[in-house]
Structures are given as structure tokens and as C-alpha cells.
């Protein structure tokens, strides 16, 4: 086979993947960037090029800053908690204990449910007075609370629900990783007289780091792209107290029909995600031990 023909083969083999990538990833990204430089158009007033005006308007938009702040808290609230919980659950169900299969299933169940269904269930958990949460509080003689109607508690309520939904999913990855650890390590640690905590901190956790990186990337992505529950629970309210960036993009695109401002916000989201992905791969990756 001649060299040039081999190139053709190579390109032909790449073509299907390349077409999909260009059509559904690269082209939309570029189109979004271009859209964000134009004004909102209608039949009466056609869209025109306005440079960075959309970005200037965004910087002046108080809702944008509030939404961005909410998203930051949402990420800080969900990521460490769900990852820690996932490790704890994985360690628990990795041991030999009666009813292990059942327990694993129980931990994994929230993951199988669609987010919309979860939100509908939790809507009734949180509902004041008649909800499960307030009923439990009532047993202890504590007063009920309007969890989703109070700007101070609404974001926390949504974070708790998201952790409940996500932790089981991450647990599966940790469980798989734990099962690949050679049992000799634990035996050796025992012989050396290492405590369980020391063994976890110095042996298990470092060996789980590749999984942790993978889970972290997923958790960060999810904290920006999971907004299904907002449609059911709060619609971003009260007064934007639970509004997240992606939901705000949706509102702009489909409630206000301002595709151009939505594109502007999307560019911000893309940049944020790109920065975080790069940071994770370049800084965290160096500190990870791959076997």
C-alpha cells in the first residue's frame, strides 16, 4: 500500500466520528459565538451586528450575577458532599455484610430515576406542613418550614436533593475501582499494624485518585448542566434565589425568545467549563498515581 493511499484510509476511518463532532460540537460552538455578536431580531426589526454589546448588557444584568453566584454555591454544595458520600457508601457495600446486594441496589436507585420524577417526589417532601420533612419535624415537636418558598433555604433544599440523586451514581465508579485493589495490600497493611484510617488515607484513597478525577469532572459538569429539577420545583424562584446559569439560558432562549442573549450566556458557560476541565486535567492529573 502506498503512503498516500494510507492517508486516504486514515481519513476515511476518521470521517464518521469527525462529521458527528463537527456537526454537533464544533459547528454549534462557533455558531453560538457568532450569534452572541448580533442583536435580537424579529420580523419588524431584523437582527444586526452589535459587537460586544450583548456582553456589556450581560455584565450590567443583576440576574446574571445572581445566577452565577447561585451556580457557584450549588457546585460547592453538591460536588464535595456527593463525592465524599459516594466513597463512604462504596466502602460500606464493598465489605461482606448481609443484604449487600439489596443495599447496593438501594444506594443506586436514585440514579435510575429520571430527574423530573425525583423532583416531583421531593416537591412533596418539601411541601410545607403536609410534606414528609415537616411531618418528621412535627414528630419531634419542631415547627414546619416553607423550604422552597424561602430564599434562604431554597438553594440548600435543592443541593440536598441533588446530592441524594448523584451520590449513588458516583458510588458505582468507586465500587468498581475498589474491587480492582489487590487484597494483598490490605493484608500487608494489617501485618504492619496500620490502622484502618491510615490504610484508607495512605493506600486506598491515593489508588482511587484516577476514579476521583473522573468523578470530579462528571460532578462539575453536572453541577452546570443538571437543571431539570428547576422546572418542577421552583422555576428558579423565589426571586431568582434558586436560578442556575443553564436554566437562565433556557429562559432567555425559550421564554423571552432572545436567542442572542442566550448565546452570550452560553459562551460564558462554555468558557467556564473549559477552564475547569483544563485545570482538572493539568493540575490534578500531575498528582495522580496511575498504575
Task: Give the binding range for other proteins (CB under 8 A) out of 70-78, 165-173, 183-191, 229-237.
Answer: 229-237
Q: Of the two residues 41 and 210, which places its CB atom closer to other proteins in the complex? A: 41
Q: Of the two residues 125 and 169, which places its CB atom closer to other proteins in the complex? A: 125
Residue partners of 95: CB distance under 8 A and separation at least 6: none
C-beta of 275: minimal distance to other proteins in Å? Answer: 29
CB of 104 within 8 A of CB of 93?
Answer: yes
φ and ψ at 149, to 5 degrees?
-100, 0
Asked if 43 is part of the footprint of other proteins (rule: CB under 8 A), the reply reads: yes
Among the listed residues 148, 167, 175, 259, the single contact to other proteins using CB under 8 A: 148
- Residues touching other proteins: how many (CB under 8 A)? 30
Q: To 5 degrees, how large is the angle CA 19–CA 21–CA 23?
A: 65
Residue 194 CB-density burial (10 A; 0-12 exposed, 13-18 middle, 19+ buried): middle
Q: Which residue has the cell 450566556?
A: 265
String marking each residue 108-147 x if it binds other proteins according to CB under 8 A: ---------------xx--xxxx------------xx-x-
CB of 264 within 8 A of CB of 55?
Answer: yes
**CA-based diameter of the chain, in Å?**
83
Asked if 235 is part of the footprint of other proteins (rule: CB under 8 A), the reply reads: yes
Among the listed residues 219, 249, 251, 264, the single contact to other proteins using CB under 8 A: 251
Q: To 5 degrees, how large is the angle CA 165–CA 117–CA 93?
A: 30
C-beta of 23: minimal distance to other proteins in Å? Answer: 16
Residues that bind other proteins (CB under 8 A): 42-44, 123-124, 127-130, 143-144, 146, 148-151, 232, 234-235, 237-241, 251, 254-258
Amino acid at each position: 500500500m502506498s503512503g498516500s493511499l494510507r492517508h486516504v484510509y486514515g481519513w476515511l476511518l476518521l470521517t464518521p466520528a469527525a462529521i458527528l463532532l463537527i456537526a454537533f460540537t464544533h459547528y454549534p460552538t462557533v455558531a453560538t459565538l457568532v450569534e452572541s455578536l448580533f442583536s435580537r431580531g424579529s420580523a419588524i426589526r431584523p437582527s444586526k451586528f452589535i459587537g460586544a454589546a450583548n456582553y456589556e448588557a450581560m455584565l450590567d444584568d443583576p440576574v446574571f450575577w445572581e445566577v452565577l453566584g447561585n451556580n457557584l454555591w450549588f457546585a460547592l454544595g453538591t460536588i464535595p458532599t456527593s463525592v465524599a458520600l459516594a466513597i463512604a457508601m462504596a466502602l460500606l457495600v464493598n465489605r461482606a455484610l448481609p443484604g449487600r446486594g439489596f443495599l447496593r441496589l438501594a444506594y443506586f436507585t436514585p440514579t435510575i430515576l429520571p430527574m423530573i420524577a425525583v423532583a416531583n417526589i421531593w416537591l412533596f417532601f418539601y411541601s410545607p406542613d403536609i410534606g414528609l420533612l415537616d411531618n418528621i419535624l412535627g414528630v419531634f415537636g419542631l415547627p414546619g418550614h416553607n423550604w422552597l418558598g424561602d430564599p434562604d433555604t431554597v438553594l440548600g433544599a435543592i443541593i440536598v436533593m441533588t446530592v441524594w440523586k448523584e451520590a449513588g451514581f458516583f458510588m458505582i465508579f468507586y465500587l468498581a475501582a475498589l474491587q480492582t485493589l489487590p487484597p494483598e495490600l490490605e493484608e500487608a497493611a494489617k501485618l504492619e499494624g496500620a490502622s484502618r484510617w491510615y490504610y484508607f488515607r495512605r493506600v486506598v484513597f491515593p489508588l482511587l485518585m484516577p476514579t476521583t478525577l473522573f468523578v470530579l469532572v462528571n460532578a462539575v459538569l453536572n453541577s452546570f448542566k443538571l437543571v431539570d429539577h428547576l422546572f418542577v420545583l421552583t422555576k428558579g424562584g423565589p426571586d431568582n434565589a434558586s436560578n442556575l446559569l443553564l436554566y437562565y439560558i433556557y429562559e432567555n432562549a425559550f421564554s423571552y425568545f432572545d436567542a442572542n442573549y442566550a448565546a452570550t450566556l452560553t459562551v460564558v458557560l462554555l468558557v467556564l467549563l473549559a477552564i475547569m476541565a483544563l485545570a482538572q486535567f493539568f493540575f490534578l492529573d500531575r498528582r495522580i498515581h496511575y498504575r
